Chain A
Amino acid sequence: MVEGAVLPAEVLKDPVVGRSLWAEARGRLVRNRAAITSIIVLGFIALACIFGPLLTGHPFDKVYPDYVKVPASLEAYPKADQIEPNVERVASRVRAKAENIAVEGDKIRVTLVGQRPIDERLLAYFERSDLFGAAKVTERADEGRRMVVDVPIKRNYFFFGTDTNGRDLLTRTMKAGQVSLAIGLLATFVAIVIGVIYGATSGYLGGRADLIMMRAVDVLYSLPFIFFVIMLVVFFGRNFVLMFIAVGAVEWLDMARIVRGQTLSIKRQEYVQAAEALGVETKGIIRRHVIPNTLGPVVVYMTLLVPKVILLESFLSFLGLGVQEPNTSLGVLISEGAKNIQGATWMLLYPSITLVTILFCLNFIGDGLRDALDPKDR
């Protein structure tokens, strides 16, 4: 705060409960429109990812063999022009020919004509198709060679289209978002817990302890990340939890360095010396004085770390080292979409838009937090 703008005494009088720095930061954050919009959008995406797969009506691993790579559409499948060829296809399996195909609302009336009497059991083929329900015979003629059948149409919506295996892309994108956000948050959490404790301890102890602890960090830094992940995969097999460990185990190094740097300056603050003069133990000083005062930059770094981790996970999954089928992540989806870019652009488009939106939101929130927590920087 500028000199001359020091809070006058009258402001100090009424609220007995103080406004902490966090509360003030929240006030500044609320005024930042980009950050608030991002928080709302991200919250919406997160909710959609968690509850969406339950509402789409498609399990994320359900395969629709009749709907392989259908484009995104707001209208229900099957489309009008798909019905006829599909009816004919099923009819040929029933060993009959379809004639007089008439669509009546949610039902089709079709006349099947066979050279021999039609085996009604074969009508089950209609139900096995992804397009139709159980067929019902309404009229029989010519000793069963001619048959009028009512077939209900199964309406399915694929708002994001389907993938190469005929799975609903919307559900899979949401499932992927779930996985990516979970990895992003958990790996970041792991990185921050280790990094903050390690960095604060190293910085506060100083001297030789600091030297040794930071050289250990340097050694870990020098390991190539991909090599490290491949090594873990070899040892432990492919495992979802492994991703957190792998990413978290690498990302805490940055965190430790940042926190150590902060701690070095905090250590020289008089309130730390005052605590020493009170006889507070090292553990208490680190916990009560050092860590709370490093949290501002840590929170900011965290919001930047989450997208970084999501990208890393996408990268690993893109290479095939990450999440395994039928489970999926945004990286996997984008990788598949990239392979099918010529015939099925939607497969790349929607997962990418989701990823980009999440990353944008997180970055805006990070920016907003930085401004809110450190107003001097503006």
Chain B
Amino acid sequence: MTEPVLAIRGLQVRFRTGDGILQAVKGVDIDINAGETVAIVGESGSGKSQTMMSVMGLLASNGWAEGSVKYRGQELVGLSPEKLNNYRGSKLTMIFQEPMTSLDPLYRIGDQLALPLTTHGGLSKTKARERAIELLELVRIPDPKRRIDSYPHELSGGQRQRVMIAMALANNPDVLIADEPTTALDVTVQARILELLSDLQKRLGMSIVFITHDLGVVRRFATRTYVMKSGQVVESGETSALFASPKHPYTKMLIDAEPRGRKEPAPAGAPMVLDAKNIEVNFATKSGWFGKTSHVLRAVDNVSLSVRAGETIGVVGESGSGKSTLGRAVLRLLPASGTVRFEDRALMPLDRAGMRPLRRHLQLVFQDPFGSLSPRMTAGEIVTEGLLVHEPRMSRKERDRRAAQAFEEVRLEPAWRNRFPHEFSGGQRQRIAIARAMILHPKLVVLDEPTSALDRSVQKEIVDLLRDLQKTHGLAYVFISHDLAVVRALSDEIMVMKSGKVVERGTAQDIFERPKEDYTRDLIAAAFLNQQEPDATPLAS
């Protein structure tokens, strides 16, 4: 076997925090050979990102690395930033998760692309520009000659990620480290970016290190895989072998963590909870004092939706398809036109005050478990806020009792209700958000990507929890997600949305097994679902 390009031996990363020293990476050995794709898999907090950040010398200022990282025999740990710059940015490059923030919004992409070329490659300005156009062509940005003078905000998320890749490729790197490069992107875009990466690898012969939590990606692209848990590599090996016979229980759990099972159909003849017809939402860009409307964006275009008690409607689509807007529009949180009936009442004629008593029946759970809980309130206060509004005469003691009850219902320790949100993990926070919705005993809950920000194994628990709650309370769900695996596990009926319109709707089974539209087929193919659980049966519970 040849000498690895990058050899990591006994790497340890520590952080000095307010609570003492925290060891994020505890002695990791990783080899990256020339021209191979290595995946590092693990859940958030497993230290997978910090391992690679320490290789690049990009640790936060309160962290430091020990051990050895050798790039072609050259030790990188303990190198001064100036010396390290001979390697990073040219031979070792990195792309990040968030293409929205990794490009400087003040500079044209051409200038940002030229920067590594002039500093590391020593090219002149005109040469650098030529090379930049070449690179944009390489990452398949349409019309690169014109695009090179765009600002980052003029590009879509996928295009930005392509620019980031072009930047990383600028000096023909040996190793490209991709830290969750596609997590922030839509599934179809994600598939195209991954395709591009594997294609580039074949042409340029570099090594790629994939840091990801998405096992679908790993299975498709990685030759070898390292599984990390709490700062240690628990298992490694050829990807196919690893997936075929995982040895470590953690790996088994990860592979097993795909949400499985199907929802049992709602009882026939259940009462209609929400019936929305011809919903339209327009966003007008206004200018000037008295708001002359200059541009109208139709975010939701003539969409109808109805849910019965105990039923789940899955709304699927990419970002910008109007699915979240639709969810808020039916709850009257956004100005919309059309008709919405909740049980036997028309909602559209009601004003803000008129809606207030109905709010307790119509709840919303958000995607981001970090942003949706006020950081200055205790978990108990957050959960019981709805009671303050809808049952203002309830005593403090009674509210506290209800909070404890709600905590139990979402399977959180009731004793934790005096803690603050930042003391909980992502999955626990999402449980708090669900408890906040459930404490009012709603009839309809709009779930706006409730599992997207969570690790797979946590997702599975949340999906189970949602399913149980639905069963016990006969809830109606509108489940908004771009994650087809989760939608499949929860929904009776699925609507596929694109640019504000419904392109296809049908039962979950029909949509996944007999998709009619190309767009639906693309979505399903891009989510790598078709390889998994070919004949899953409804969950027997």
Q: Which of A15, A271, A278 contacts B373 (CB 8 A)?
A: A271
Cα A27 to Cα B289 with chains together (Å): 48
Q: Report B139 CB to chain A, min CB distance, Å.
A: 27
Q: What string of 1s and 0s marks CB contacts (under 8 Å) between A274-299 and chain B?
A: 11111111001000110011010000
Q: A5-B22, A9-B425, A20-B376 are in contact. Are A277 and B433 (CB under 8 A)?
A: no
A278 near B366 with CB under 8 A, answer no
Q: Evaluate contact between B63 and A2: CB separation under 8 angstroms.
A: yes
Residues of B within 8 A of A234 (CB): none
Using A1-B17, A3-B50 as known contacts, say yes or no to A274 and B359 having CB atoms under 8 A apart. Answer: no
- Structural contact, A278 and B50, CB atoms closer than 8 A: no
Interface size class of A (residues with CB under 8 A): 35 or more
**Interface-forming stretch among B1-9, B163-171, B384-392?**
B384-392
Q: Is residue A165 within 8 Å, beta carbon to beta carbon, of the partner chain? A: no
Q: Contact at B372–A274, with CB atoms within 8 Å?
A: yes
Contact between A21 and B436, CB atoms less than 8 A apart: no
**Nearest B residue (CB) for A291:** B376
Q: Within 8 Å of chain B (Cβ to Cβ): is A326?
A: no
Residue from A4, A8, A274 whose CB has the most chain B CB atoms within 10 Å: A4
Determine the chain A residues whose CB is within 8 A of the CB of B17 once the complex forms.
1, 5
Identify B372's interface contact among A1, A9, A271, A284, CB under 8 A: A271
Q: How far is the CA of A79 from the CA of B471 in the complex (A)?
A: 95
Whole-angstrom distance from the CB of A291 to the nearest CB of chain B? 9
Residue contact A270 to B372, C-beta cutoff 8 Å: yes
Query: Bound complex: CA of A281 vs CA of B357, how far in Å?
Result: 12
- With contact pairs A3-B44, A20-B376, A20-B420 given, residues A278 and B389 touching in the complex (Cβ less than 8 Å): yes
**Chain A residues near B374 (CB, 8 Å)?**
269, 271, 275, 288-289, 292-293
Report chain B residues within 8 Å CB of A27.
18
The answer to whether B415 and A16 have CB atoms under 8 Å apart is yes
For B13, give the chain A residue with the smallest CB separation.
A4
A121 to chain B, nearest CB (A): 76
Chain A residues lying within 8 Å of B60, measured Cβ to Cβ, are: 2
**Bound-state Cα–Cα, A28 to B374, Å:** 21
Residues B360 and A279 in contact, CB atoms below 8 Å apart: yes
Identify the closest chain A residue to B47 (Cβ). Answer: A4
Q: B331 near A277 (CB under 8 angstroms)?
A: yes
Q: Give the distance to chain A from B277, nearest Cβ to Cβ, in Å.
A: 22
Contact in complex: A12, B385 (CB < 8 Å)? no
How far does the Cβ of B223 sit from chain A's closest Cβ, in whole Å?
Answer: 25
Within 8 A of A (CB), among B255-278: none
Classify the secondary structure of A's interface with B: helix
| Residues from 1 to 45 in B contacting A, C-beta threshold 8 Å | 13, 15, 17-19, 22, 24-25, 44-45
A20, A276, A293 interface centre (most CB from chain B within 10 Å): A20
The residue of chain B having its C-beta at the shortest distance from the C-beta of A31 within the complex is: B18
Number of interface residues of B (CB under 8 A): 61
Contact of A12 among B360, B372, B375, B424 (CB under 8 A): B424
Whether A8 touches B45, Cβ cut-off 8 Å, given contacts A3-B50, A18-B418, is yes
Identify A280's interface contact among B62, B389, B418, CB under 8 A: B389
Question: Is B356 positioned at the interface, with any CB of A under 8 Å from its CB?
Answer: yes
How far is A303 from B111 in the complex, measured between Cα atoms in Å?
Answer: 42
User: Scoring A residues 18 to 31 as 1 if CB is less than 8 Å from chain B, else 0, what string do you get?
Assistant: 11110010011000
Provide the residues of chain B in CB contact with A12, threshold 8 Å: 416, 419, 423-425
B190 within 8 A of A: no
Query: Roughly how many angstroms separate A378 CA and B423 CA in the complex, as a whole number?
Result: 21
Q: Contact string, A246-289, partner B, CB cutoff 8 A, digits 1/0?
A: 00000000000000000000000111011111111100100011
A378, B61: Cβ atoms closer than 8 Å: yes
Q: Which residues of B contact A9 (CB under 8 A)?
A: 425
> In the assembled complex, how far is the CB of residue B97 from the closest CB belonging to chain A, in whole angstroms?
10
A2 & B50 in contact (Cβ 8 Å cutoff): yes
Q: Is the CB of A292 within 8 A of B376?
A: yes
Q: How far is the CB of A369 from chain B (nearest CB, A)?
A: 16
Contact indicator per residue, chain A 204-238, by CB within 8 Å of chain B (1) or not (0): 00000001000000000000000000000000000
Closest B residue to A290 by beta carbon equals B374
From the candidates B49, B333, B440, name the one contacting A3 in the complex (CB within 8 A).
B49
Q: Of A7, A15, A16, A292, which contacts B377 at CB under 8 A?
A: A292
- Residues of B within 8 Å of A280, CB to CB, are 385, 388-389
B389 touching A277, Cβ below 8 Å: no
A6 and B420 form a contact (CB under 8 A): no
Q: Which residue of the partner chain A has the closest CB to B359?
A: A279
- Complex Cα distance, B351 from A156, in Å, reads 77
Interface residue A11 (Cβ < 8 Å from any Cβ of B)? yes
Neighbouring A residues of B389 by C-beta, 8 Å: 278-281, 284
Question: B426 to chain A: closest CB distance in Å?
Answer: 8
The residue among B49, B60, B388 with the most chain A CB atoms within 10 A of its own CB is B60
Residues of B within 8 A of A271 (CB): 371-374, 382
Would you call B25 and A274 a contact (CB within 8 A)? no
Q: Chain A: which residue is nearest B366 at the CB level? A: A270
A11 to B419, CA, bound (A): 12
Contact with A along B350-384 (1 / 0, CB 8 A): 00000111011011101110011111111100100
B448 CB to closest chain A CB (Å) equals 9
Whether, in the assembled complex, B401 has its beta carbon less than 8 Å from a beta carbon of chain A, the answer is no
Q: Is A17 on the interface with B (CB-CB < 8 A)?
A: yes
Do A279 and B388 touch (CB < 8 A)? no
Interface string of B422-445 (1 = CB under 8 A from A): 111100000001001000100000
- Report the Cα distance A8→B363, complex, angstroms: 31
Please determine whether B420 and A18 come into contact, CB atoms closer than 8 angstroms. Answer: yes
Cβ < 8 Å to A, chain B residues 339-356: 355-356
Least CB separation from B362: chain A residue: A277
* B49, closest chain A residue (CB): A3
On whether the beta carbons of A2 and B371 are closer than 8 Å, the reply is no
CB of B99, distance to nearest CB on chain A (Å): 18
Closest to B356 in A: A279
Which 3 pairs between the two chains have the least Cβ-Cβ distance? A18-B419, A279-B359, A270-B372
Q: What 12 additional pairs, Cβ within 8 angstroms, besides A2-B50, A274-B436?
A: A2-B15, A2-B62, A8-B230, A12-B419, A16-B419, A18-B379, A18-B418, A21-B376, A24-B18, A271-B382, A279-B357, A280-B388
A-B contact pairs, 28 of them (CB 8 A): A2-B15, A2-B24, A4-B25, A12-B424, A16-B418, A17-B418, A18-B416, A18-B419, A18-B423, A19-B423, A24-B18, A27-B18, A269-B374, A270-B366, A271-B372, A271-B373, A274-B364, A274-B433, A276-B333, A278-B389, A279-B357, A279-B389, A279-B390, A280-B385, A280-B388, A293-B374, A293-B376, A375-B18
